[in-house]
Structure 1
Amino acid sequence: MTAERPIALVTGVGRRIGIAAGIVDGLADDGWDIAFSYWDGYESRMPWGPDTASHDELASALRAAGARALAVPADFEQPDAPAALLRTVNDELGPVRALVLCHAESVDSGILDTTVESFDRHFAVNARANWLLIRAFAEQFAAGAAGAALGRIVALTSDHTAHNLPYGASKGALDRIVQASAVELAPLGITANLINPGPIDTGWMTPELAEALRAETALGRLGTPRDTADLVSFLLSPDGGWMTGQLLHSNGGFHLPV
């Protein structure tokens, strides 16, 4: 627990079983101090419901492992939430050196049954909030650091589109925002990449769906949060500093063309 540990901010750590929580665990093992955001209002609208105790439990586990940890609620439907989150983390822990964007609004609907309210909420959370988080993150860095790779941005994306219109469309917008960041923020020494983790079993799959997805995966199993966390760890490491502007599929060969 020293000031020398860099600080990573991971968004969307709503459940202990989720991908974001696996990423947090991996980064703490790598020597990062951790701030993470959550929003129980989203979890309460999902079939699994909120896991309110998990936030304090995860923060305590991180501290026990030697990391400083800060859990912050953040409602990304609100346009002032991203900048407020970065200010809170900066005041409590220090400047953020890695931004890992895992939060998402995700409610299935298609072309004919998506409501305007749902469409706007998806874009507010999955596109606008990520742009504002990236902007607030970049504002911490001074100009003239090109080539130094001082900061890291990693975002989780998806290629799901049909019957998931607002989610898929807003994730497409996220892809473009992050790829633009790789170019525009390079003079600040910031890299920016996307990870498409494919289907990860975090408790939302029926047994039948899990088996069908496993059968479509070349390596013969479903992904785990740790599979994604390992790639995030690489991208945030010194060895990952030459990677930027990439959309990486880390999915065990899911749905490869035959």
Structure 2
Amino acid sequence: MTQRPVVLVTGVGRRVGIGAGIAAQLARDGWDVATSHWAPYDERMPWGPQPDDPERVHADLRATGARTVAVPADLADPGTPARLFDAVEDALGAVTALVMCHCESVDSSILDTTVESFDRHMAVNARATWLLVAEFARRLRVEPGTGRIVAITSDHTTHNLPYGASKGAMDRIVLAAARELQHQRLTANVVNPGPVDTGWMDDAVREAALAPNPRGRLGTPQDTADLVAFLLSDRGGWINGQLLFSDGGWKA
């Protein structure tokens, strides 16, 4: 049997999340899948703790024939990316693709955002992305042209200041990798999935997000997973250094 390539998907703490949808699709496509999660983040969010979800996600992945490992990872700690890659390599081997779905996301505005919250958003969404990309590049030992980096972003800014600002910084870091790491012939892209209800929408938000979408529905994790899977495939190898909107036309 041909050895399955290994992908690391960060931010897979909940079975209904975009990260879990991506991980499941990649496992079906023939990847071995490592994931990271951080339960204290979920505990602070409206959906609350879901301690069984990481193992439920991995049961789904194993059912496809994928080898898999779940690693708790506090990405606010600058030492975490190196330890995360160590753990994944020990369990599954060298990583061929990095898909970053992790985030810190707490609603606040210009006048009420705290310095502590702003700094944590920057640490998790921007600094950790830089450190993960750098760690991935230093360890990449695959045939030139097969390495892949994808990050999930958002353009939400109003009343979501630290999230939007840190995601904007994240975009620039990932897009820079397409040029700065060109000697490795990898690809680096950013995907904006638009509004996807993974448990954070109330009825008013859901209605406001649904009304302007030309496709007449909200996005799903599978919609994002389909694009990410293509970007990680051989057929997606000519797409590089792009911020892609996969939102059914919502932004249009």
TM-score normalised by L of structure 1: 0.95
Q: Which amino acid aligns with 1:162?
A: T
Which stretches of structure 1, 4 residues or more, deviate above 2 A after TM superposition?
A: none
Question: What residue number does 1:247 align with?
Answer: 243
Shift of 1:140: 1.4
Does the 8 A contact of 1:14 with 1:50 survive in 2? no
Write the distance in 2 (CA, Å) between the matches of 1:207 and 1:3: 47
Choose the corresponding residue for 1:206, options 202, 206, 230.
202
Inter-partner Cα distance in structure 1 for 2:204 and 2:109: 22
* Structure 1 residue 206 displacement after superposition: 1.4
In structure 2, C-alpha distance between the alignment counterparts of 1:240 and 1:156, rounded to whole Å: 17
Q: 1:108 matched to which residue of 2?
A: 107
Task: Within 5 Å, give how 1:30-179 maps onto structure 2.
Answer: 30-141=29-140, 148-179=144-175
> Which amino acid in the other structure matches residue 123 of structure 2?
A
Q: SS where residue 195 of structure 1 aligns?
A: strand
- How far is the alpha carbon of 1:3 from its aligned partner? 6.5
Matched, 1:223 2:219: yes
Using the alignment, how far apart are the partners of 1:47 and 1:39 within structure 2? 15
Distance in 2 separating the partners of 1:69 and 1:191: 24
How many residues are treated as equivalent by the alignment?
252
Amino acid of the structure 2 residue aligned with 1:138: A
Residues 146 and 234 of structure 2 are in contact (CA less than 8 Å); yes or no, is this contact kept in structure 1? Answer: no
Match status 1:180 vs 2:179: no
Q: For 1:204 and 1:161, locate their aligned partners in 2 and report how far apart those are by CA, in whole Å.
A: 16
Structure 1 residue 182 displacement after superposition: 0.5
Quick check: 1:7–1:35 contact (8 Å CA) kept in 2? yes
Q: For each residue in 1:146-195, what CA deviation from the matched residue of structure 2 results, as whole angstroms up to 9, or x when unmatched?
A: xx312000000111111111100000100110011000111112110000
Q: Which runs of 5+ in 1 are unaligned?
A: none
1:130-150 Cα deviation digits (max 9, x unpaired)? 10000110011359x7xx312
* Larger deviation, residues 151-160 vs 47-56: 47-56
Structure 1 residues 1-23: Cα deviation after superposition (integer angstroms, max 9, x where no partner): x6610000000001100000000
CA deviations 1:114-141 (Å, max 9, x no partner) are 1000000000000000100001100113
Question: Structure 1 residues 142, 26: CA separation in 2 closer, same or farther (over 3 Å shift)?
Answer: closer
Q: Which residue identity lines up with residue 203 of structure 1 in the other structure?
A: G
Mapped to 2, the partners of 1:5 and 1:230 lie a distance apart of 19
> Letter of the aligned partner of 1:15 in structure 2?
R
Alpha-carbon separation, structure 2, partners of 1:112 and 1:209: 22
Task: Please report how far the alpha carbon of residue 208 of structure 1 lies from its aligned counterpart in structure 2 after TM superposition.
Answer: 2.5
Structure 2 residue aligned with 1:235 = 231
8 Å Cα contact 1:22-1:225 kept in structure 2? yes
**Structure 2 CA distance for aligned equivalents of residues 47 and 240 of structure 1:** 36
User: 1:255 Cα shift?
Assistant: 3.6
- State the one-letter code of the partner of 1:68: R
CA-CA distance at 1:205 after TM superposition: 1.2
CA contact (8 A) 1:228 1:250 kept: yes
Native 8 Å contact 1:16 1:54 kept in 2: yes
State percent identity of aligned pairs.
61
Q: What residue ranges of structure 2 are gaps of 5+ in the alignment?
A: none
1:74 deviates by 0.1
Could you give the per-residue CA deviations for residues 81-130 of structure 1, whole angstroms, max 9, x where no partner exists?
01110111011100010100000000011111110000000000000001
**C-alpha displacement of 1:63:** 1.2
